[in-house]
Chain A
Amino acid sequence: MNNKRHILFLSVLVSVTLPFLPLLLWSFSERWFYPALLPQSFGLRGWSYIFGTVNSQILQALISSFFLAATSTLISLAVGVPAGRALGLYEFPGKRFVLLTFILPVIVPPLAVAMGLHLWFIRLGLAETFWGVVLVHLTFCLPYTIFVMRGTFSDYSPEFEDQARTLGASRLQVLSRVTIPMIMPGIVVAALFSFLLSWSQYLSTLIIGGGRMLTLPIMLFSLMGSGDRPVAAAVSLIFVIPAFIALLASAHSLGRAGLQGVR
């Protein structure tokens, strides 16, 4: 039993961490010609290229990726939590239709939607702007948030709110002292979820943002094209940082439930 357990653990560990090995090696390599197994000389060129210059494009991309993902997440939460609550707690005619409307953007790839919106956004002056990209990211961040919150609320007893009111809590106090603490795990998952979705989005950002919205994935693609492997590897590693923060945060605040269900 214990043996099997170790084999299982090791195989999971190795297959999960293996892809990070070449990224780490390349990001710290200075010269690494084939067929050397390890870099001939290690160095920080890849990293200093990113952080060395104040106005580096990559740093700018990092910042705009962050604000893009944060904005999409906040709007998704503000709009999605009430919707998730209603869908989790109530049965009403037409609910199936509403659910279908919300699930389609989860299944259908954003490609056709972004292409369709592009021309319209150009005419509205939204193309190649921050808010235009936020809007197109909302088409998938928002439905995901709604589904996470719906799951949270279907395990939620609204009786707690009534109980709090009979104990003298005002509506606002009920919200801040009862409802939000109770659904916090769901909110954390939904927020991480939608942040990561927006953060790793490439094509729809490219279509709506044109060349103007430089995000990290867009930078990464052009770096791969230019063939500068140490810098590309370093950017890749920066690109996964939010993922790791999300993981640690979830392991800390969500306990065993973790992030399952996040894609």
Chain B
Amino acid sequence: MDRLRLQQLTISYGEQEVIRQLSLSIADGEMVSLLGPSGSGKSTLLKTIAGLLPQQDGRVFINGESVDHLPAEKRDTVLIFQKPLLFPYLNVRRNIAFGLKMSGYSQAAVRDRIRKILEITGLEGFEDRRIHQLSGGQQQRVALARGLVLEPSILLLDEPLSSLDTELRQQMRELIRDIQKKTGTTMLFVTHDQSEAFAISDRVCVLLDGTLRQTGTPQELFYKPADPDVARFFGISNMIAGRVSGSRFRSRFVCCPAPQCPDGSAAAVIRPEDIEIVKNMADNCVEGSVLSVQFEGTATRLMVSAGDELYKILCFRTSHVAGDRIILRFPENRLHLIR
């Protein structure tokens, strides 16, 4: 059974619809990321699932039961915010025990559960610390423990790592992934950072302008975007307009197989690192001139103008300079067709 199911969910702030007709299911034990730029409505969605914001339309099911009538404290979800939001007047132990105390657990049960969660989150020895004595990473870890200790049906995480610095973020990613595997907790993780979403989750959902555009494994999203917006979001701006006929895609200089594609106009996209620079003209090639060269360290970014179009190319250890004439090749198996 699905832990969480969203059915045709629409959420508005006043007149403006923030989330439109969103449907999504998350299975037990799954780790799903919701990826989208800031302002795409990710946090709003999480707050609605948690019961902190009402929806305009549609329904939320947790463990198969509708929870639309339940306030936040009655829902079997816990939301971890961007900031740790630890209660400053309580120490670490009392912060973690907060939810259990609210639900009226016995002292013994509280002690037991806290011991277990401290071990899982690697917070042993910090129980009696005051909040202001903790570093940012430790605080976020306590916030995580405070949510996990309630063993919610689904843990909602709202960019919990974005306030940490790069190295710490890396460690916390692994910790969360690790905890998820150990406890089997179902998690919905919201982020605007694609590498974070890819590294941490089984399945990624892309949210753009309030609608769910594509759901899939990180590889699927990265190499096979469903539409131009998703492609652009993952950094593909090379789009080649053409037509499909008889299961083949053709443009002025590119041609590739298009199995199961209906005839009509279509576009092929290709990642900037997949375009090759070759010596001699051949199939799927076009000649162009280098407009600009940007050395970025590992890679060098070229802007090439060819046949009225601009292409972005990422290449390694290149010696081209602006003004060079070069030949670009678009390998058949790297082209991905979108409508």
Q: Assess A/B contact in the complex (Cβ within 8 A).
A: no
A binding-site residues for B, Cβ under 8 Å: none
